[in-house]
Amino acid sequence: MVPFLASLFIGSSILGIRLVKDLVVTQVARDAASMYARGTDFSSASPVNQALLSRLGAMLGWPQNAALGSTDGGVIYLSQIMYIDNTCNGNAATDSKGRACNENSWVFVNTIVLGNTNVHSSNFGAPPSCISACYDSVITGTSPNYGNINLNEAYYNSGDVVQNFTYLGTPSSSTAGFQPGQIANLVEVGAYVGQTVDYAFALF
């Protein structure tokens, strides 16, 4: 009887702790997505906002007064994505460099990564690493750390295509619902929970 009760107690405790941490990871994804969709800047230009995100994961052992670092036990991917239909959303089929449009694909238009990418990689890929060339220093005059990808690159750089994203189907201008050219805010959170990694995503 004692072993049974002990295992029941220990099992319940482990499962409970695990559930609580699952809960925290889900909540961090939800809160981050909600703020991101409302326009909160989580780029390196706003370290206070980055620290706020990290504080949400205090129960996961994340820093409470600083942004998630590259050696911490968590990672957050914040991405804005857009679908390009077979008309290139009304834009030219090729750009001035002769590159073909990313037709019938989801593409990144903004991406910010916080934390330790070794914890969990994005399930949807990542934009190209051509920071100085691709990011939005042209359109907005801002530095690349805002994560805004130059929309010309989003449309015509094949490296900017999102991988494995099927959650909103295939948007079409002839079908009710999410439309090509509209922006979806995608947040992924990965965190160490014991020896395993918990993962949650939210689409806002």
Sites of contact with another protein (CB under 8 A): 1, 4-5, 8, 12, 15-16, 19-20, 22-23, 26-27, 29-30, 33-34, 37-39, 45, 90-92, 95-96, 138-143, 151-152, 155, 167-169, 173, 175-179, 181-185, 202-204
Least Cβ distance, residue 98 to another protein (angstroms): 14
Evaluate the CA torsion angle 142, 95, 182, 79 in order and state its sign.
negative
Closer by beta carbon to another protein, 90 or else 98 = 90
Q: Report the nearest approach of another protein to the CB of residue 181 (Å).
A: 7
Nearer to another protein by Cβ, of 44 and 204: the residue is 204
CA dihedral 85, 91, 96, 98 (to 10 degrees): 30
Q: Which is nearer to another protein, 20 or 70 (CB)?
A: 20
Q: Which of 201, 204, 190, 200 is nearest to 34 (CA)?
A: 204
Q: Which is nearer to another protein, 72 or 101 (CB)?
A: 101
* Nearest CA among 123, 135, 129 for reference residue 43: 135
Contact 66, 54 (CB under 8 A): yes
